[in-house]
Chains A and B, each alone.
Chain A
Amino acid sequence: GQNIDQPTEMTATEGAIVQINCTYQTSGFNGLFWYQQHAGEAPTFLSYNVLDGLEEKGRFSSFLSRSKGYSYLLLKELQMKDSASYLCAVEDSNYQLIWGAGTKLIIKP
């Protein structure tokens, strides 16, 4: 079966760095997405990785290792507004998105 695993909840301190991991087992691979979802709001696109390596976008970076079926989202200089759920999704060989259950990130002052 197809499966995406990510931690249910994480807590971090304002100003610090946090890494949210995502491991996947899917039928083929056409890319990995990260979305951010604030409570009561729409998920919004953060990043897309299709090749191995690190993609940096401001305070957020996303890493992919296809051989390990592994990705992480790195958030630096955490701000209170980063408190949200972070959703990992993989596009399989049929271009279907397989979603993780999301990681709720709590930022404390």
Chain B
Amino acid sequence: ETGVTQTPRHLVMGMTNKKSLKCEQHLGHNAMYWYKQSAKKPLELMFVYSLEERVENNSVPSRFSPECPNSSHLFLHLHTLQPEDSALYLCASSQDAGAGANVLTFGAGSRLTVL
């Protein structure tokens, strides 16, 4: 496997369910990100981890809970979501966080539908 891999690719859940999104990067990068992508809207940065420590949390509701057990893996735990949380969730990695010319490598995303 190369690049950034996300699972599952598609997820349908009820508002009372608990599920997790997984991201794995094989690039040796030090920073990992969660983004939310909604139709016709700019990418919204949710969380940033640098060397497994959270460095950014953009006022994301507590029903989204990130976990970074090591520099290669990132999770997004979901619970009691709302229908407006339905979106494409993109994971990305970069060599470092907070540095110029910070090229991101994205995963293909997890398409989440909340019923």
Contacts and interface: CB of A to CB of B under 8 A. Distances in A.
Contacts of A98: 42
B10 to A, nearest CB: 10
A60 interface: no
Contact of B108 (A33, A41, A95): A41
A30 B109 contact: no
Interface in B75-108: 90, 97-108
Contact of B104 (A40, A45, A94, A100): A45
B29 to A, nearest CB: 13
Interface residues of A, number: 26
Nearest to B88: A40
A91 interface: yes
A97 B106 CA distance: 14
Contacts of A35: 104, 106
A100 B42 contact: yes
Interface of B: 4, 40-43, 45, 90, 97-109
15 contacts: A4-B42, A31-B100, A33-B103, A35-B106, A42-B106, A44-B106, A45-B103, A45-B105, A48-B101, A87-B43, A91-B100, A91-B102, A95-B99, A96-B45, A98-B42
